Amino acid sequence: METHTNPGHDHSDHYRRGVFTERVFEYRSVEKKKLLISLFVTTFFMLVEIVGGILSGSIALISDAGHMFTHCFAIIIGLVAIYIARKPACHHRTFGLYRAEILASFVNGIFLVLVSAVIIYEAVARIISPREVLGLEMFVVAIIGLVANVASIFILKGSHQHDLNVKSVFYHLLADAASSVGVIGAAVVIYYRGWTVVDPIVSIGISIAILYWAWGVLKESGMILMEMAPGGNGFDSDTIATDLMSRFPEISGIFSAHLWAITPDMLVFSAHIGFKDGVKNPISLMPRISEHLFERYRVIESTIQILTDEFGAVCQVPPEIR
């Protein structure tokens, strides 16, 4: 029985070295710039609302500024995670600190749930005990918030598709943009009809949508933190094992296959692989297997233990403990 890790000349190891060492200080540089710009835009509009609220005496403007502060907080969490993740790998953090991004997205997901819960609670309270709502001020506040959030959404658009950390921030902004659109509609109805109950009803509907987005972020980040195969990629360890046996007829069996993610675009694979009797030099197949894993599944690092027939059964998990 021999143990083999990716040879130094193949593409996947080159990519791994690039991610974990040579390019670590450039990691997520585009996402960092986008988040910084988004933070500036959101902070600027938040300050405008605070000043406007003080000068006009509008509590609605000041309260919406507080809402924008929650988005600043979410963006700051995302930025801190990127700065932490950029720290290079070393002997006691061999995969670096890229998981900081996943932890940040998980925290932001919980934050979304808490914000939704507070909004729903307040909305129900207002249905039970209606309060006077100033439709015109409500309309102005919603327009200001919508402009700020739409600007930030366009800034982050694209990066959220492959970065779970940015996605969690993106959903914060998208939720607030949807909220602003709903509030604009509700403000028009209240201004012309006086139906103040529309305000809490719209808030509840928007909060349900936020909870749906939050669940997606929590589920994806939770799977990665629990070392599960990433669900969003459409494959798992069994899929890869089946594909390898089909692609490489020299393989007789694959046991103890494991697939996990450092981040959604950094996958790691390990397995015990048995080869048929006629294969004289299975080690020579390792570069091809490693390259295939990288090119098809974006596995940045694979560890393969080569088994002979006499050791193959050792790696099978007994049925009673599966």
Provide the 3-class DSSP secondary structure of residue 212. Answer: helix
Q: What is the mean pLDDT of the chain?
A: 75
Which of 201, 225, 249 is the last residue before a domain boundary? 225
**278-287 pLDDT, tens digit each:** 888 888 888 8
pLDDT score for 271: 92
d(C-alpha 268, C-alpha 207), whole Å: 36
Does 264 score more than 90 pLDDT? no
d(C-alpha 221, C-alpha 164), whole Å: 7
pLDDT score for 79: 83
Structural domain range at position 253:
231-321
More confident residue, 4 or 284: 284
Domain count within the chain: 2
Q: Report yes or no: 70 and 115 within 8 Å, Cβ to Cβ.
A: yes
**221-250 pLDDT, tens digit each:** 888 888 877 666 678 888 899 999 999 988
**153-186 pLDDT, tens digit each:** 888 776 666 666 777 778 777 777 777 777 788 7
Global pTM value = 0.69
Provide the 3-class DSSP secondary structure of residue 267. Answer: strand
Do 216 and 241 lie in a common domain?
Answer: no
Do 24 and 131 lie in a common domain?
Answer: yes
Which of 190, 225, 260 is the last residue before a domain boundary? 225
Provide the 3-class DSSP secondary structure of residue 216. Answer: helix
Does 273 score more than 70 pLDDT? yes
At which residue do the structure tokens 């012309």 appear? 192
Do 8 and 116 lie in a common domain?
Answer: yes
Do 263 and 128 lie in a common domain?
Answer: no
Does 317 score more than 60 pLDDT? no
Do 89 and 163 lie in a common domain?
Answer: yes
Which of 225, 242, 277 is the last residue before a domain boundary? 225
At 191, which CATH number? 1.20.1510.10
Q: How confident is the model at residue 213 (pLDDT cuts 50, 70, 90)?
A: confident
pLDDT score for 8: 36
Do 166 and 237 lie in a common domain?
Answer: no
Which of 12-16, 41-45, 204-208, 233-237 shows the lowest mean pLDDT across its residues? 12-16
Residue type, 280: K
Phi and psi at residue 234, to the nearest 5°: 80, 15
Do 316 and 257 lie in a common domain?
Answer: yes
Do 221 and 243 lie in a common domain?
Answer: no
At 244, which CATH number? 3.30.70.1350
Do 102 and 191 lie in a common domain?
Answer: yes
